[in-house]
Structure 1
Amino acid sequence: MDKLIDNRWVMRVFALFLALMLYAIVNIESGSSVNKPPTPLTQSPVADKAIVTDVPVVTYFDQENLVVTGVPEAVNVTLEGATSSLTKARQLKDFEIYADLTNLSIGTHRVNLKYKNLSEDLKASITPSAITVSIEEKVAKDFPVKVDLLNEDKIKEGYTPDQPIVNPNSIRVTASKDVIDKILSARATVSLENIKETMNKESLITIYDRDGNVLPVEVEPSVVDITVPIKSPSKVLPFKITREGELGQGLSVFSIEPKPNEITVYGPLDILDKLEFIDGVKVDLSKIKEDTVLEVDVPIPEGATKVNPEKLEIEVDIEKQEEKLFTDKTVTQVGLSEGKILEFVNPETGSLDVKVYGAPSVIEDIKPEDIELYINLTDLSDGEQEVNVEVNGPQNITWSLQQEKVKVKISSAS
């Protein structure tokens, strides 16, 4: 046996035999593995299916010159494929459904919806898969904006709306000629509930057809500014001019002429009902040395909201002063209680001289009966009393009395 092992030819033959045996074993295992089912590690990915709803539809066409109708805003897409890719697509919606109309002519067409940017291991089916579209030439036309005033019956009592002001006063609608021909009006709305002053508001434009239906068209601008002037209750009133200060020596007022001669006052009805005239329009004579036109503020009566105009022009004409004397003007009385007797003590005659001053043309026309002297005896008790003498006379004159007070005696009738 040892001799066989030591024989190199015997060993070579043995080695060859082993090599053949190993080769046969490997080929047998390889052949048998072809028919074996794949192990879990070599299985293909698990397939899944899901519906993605409300996927927007993108339309490709000449948007500058054409208008397309019939394209749905969104569709449903059924996705099928590897779970991981499907989950990602559902969450991100990073794929696109589109209608390619770029090579289509004006008219009606049946178009298949397509998809892109979808993972290669996903398949998609679109519902609906095809749509009917209408391609028309784009037309633009301007329409005036009409304003609908809502809740006019709920505006504050006494207040009324004036004509609304719209900026801009017209808008441009872009659509197909067929749609443009259906348009009746472009309208904006404003609510007047509880309004009592001029209001400013932004309002959306709505386009209506002749049947009152809203048309979904392109509008520029889609929002306009609306001003609604609100007219509050008003009352036209005269006003009283109060003279302050005195003219320089030797000067007299010939005339004071306001423009306008009435004021419109605005405010709540209960305030206006109480007003009879406006007081507080003042002219300071101490600052006037010649004919002058003054601009004077008109005071707003308490509780009112505004006046119109807010300022008056008052023309003051000045002339050199002249004087005129009226003698023995009887002093009349007012306010003497019933059953009382009046007796003049000083002057005993009950009459005074009065000198009036004014512009020549004013003085010239004054007559004795135009000047009235009187004393007010209201609430005076019996006995001798000194009482101020009051003077009534035409406008634009001043006067001086022989004496400023008179002494009288009041007694009860026996």
Structure 2
Amino acid sequence: MDPRLCGAGGENEKMDRWIESPWVLRILALFLAILLYMSVNVEEVDLKKKTENVPNDNVATIEDVPVDVYYDSDNLVVSGVPQTVSVTIEGPKSIVQSTKALKDFKVYVDLSNLGVGTHDVPIKYDNISNQLKVKIEPAYAEVSIQEKVTKEFKVGAEISDGMLGNGYQVDSLSVSPKTVEITGAKDVINQIAYVKATLDSDELIDGEFTGKARVRVLDSELNKLDVAVDPETVEVTVKVKNPNKKVPVSVKEIGNPPEGVSIKDIDIDPKEVTVYGKESALDKLNNVEINIDLSKIKRDTVKEVPIHLKEGLNYVSPQKVKVVVSVDKRTKPKEDENGTAEITPDDNQTQTNDTNSPNSVITKTIADIPIETRGLSNDYVLDSMSPSTVNAEVTGEESVVDKLSKDDFSLFIDLSGLTVGEHQLKIEGDGPNNTDWKLSDDQVNVQLSVKKR
């Protein structure tokens, strides 16, 4: 026998004996068990991850569920109970979905057996299936129970100055009803410092005005208090006034007259006007000023000059004044080519002697000029007015007068401050510039009566 074969057979025998050894088999079995355990564990982890990513239809949260409160509402006031809570339900999918859809359950706190004071009370629920787990957030509420008090308070009226027409100020404010009943917790009622009704209007107020205003209840730091007010709104009536003052008109001269012209006299008509506005502005007013530009005055001139008012003043009567400027015109030497001076007549002389000049003076009558009314109180009605139109005799340069019509006049009567009865009023207003004009009537008779409500 080949000895090499004998050696090979010995090696095989040794391998067989090693494989058949019980320790080898035990180690191999342990290794296979570890591999199997690891394989199963990895599959469970993957399954768990997949499950976590899938929505759980067995749980639902219902937001903004209202909370009912059971207590003696006739005699007590309760605070601290949340208006809404969140309710989370968990259980069988079908019951969770139907409960969430129907919302036929109640959430409440029961204070029936509790007295005045502060209490921590559970927020409970009713009509939810016993198969569901229920969680309410918040689960408890710190509730204050106090004695209910009703007390009568006087209402104060307010109005913003920004609602008043320019120059107007409040004469009086009144409220109807004058008092309201306020109900709330006793300690809240004791905090009341102000009960106000603030009038609001989209339009500027320049006469008597009545509007509705909501009543506000405030503490000393102007914080709104949680109380019930009866009635919630009141009527506020405001009466306004438009103070006035008579002041003189003064002239401010601007510039210098043209060469060869000197100002002889400046006369104003009227010399006083009535100015309306806030008392604070009137107190500082000593006169109204009009500007006259002397550089444009070449001859005797008659002008209607408007009066401009400062802030806080809203009206002036009349709105324009007539200014008559008289001049002296000096003749001035004019040298000819030989250096000899000759005297040139002034403009007035030229216009007077040249009857064919377009600046010839003429007189014209303008008929049926309407008279407006201003300042009538909302409490009265104008029953009659005579005359309602007037004629005007206008004198001036032909080129100016020929173009005039009644539209060049703005005439009015001022009814401010008048009461029931007959009154005779002066006609005021404006007319065309650079002319002299006179009205056929300078006064109007009017009859006033009380407006029917």
TM-score by length of 1: 0.46
> Larger C-alpha radius of gyration, 1 or 2?
1
TM-score by length of 2: 0.43
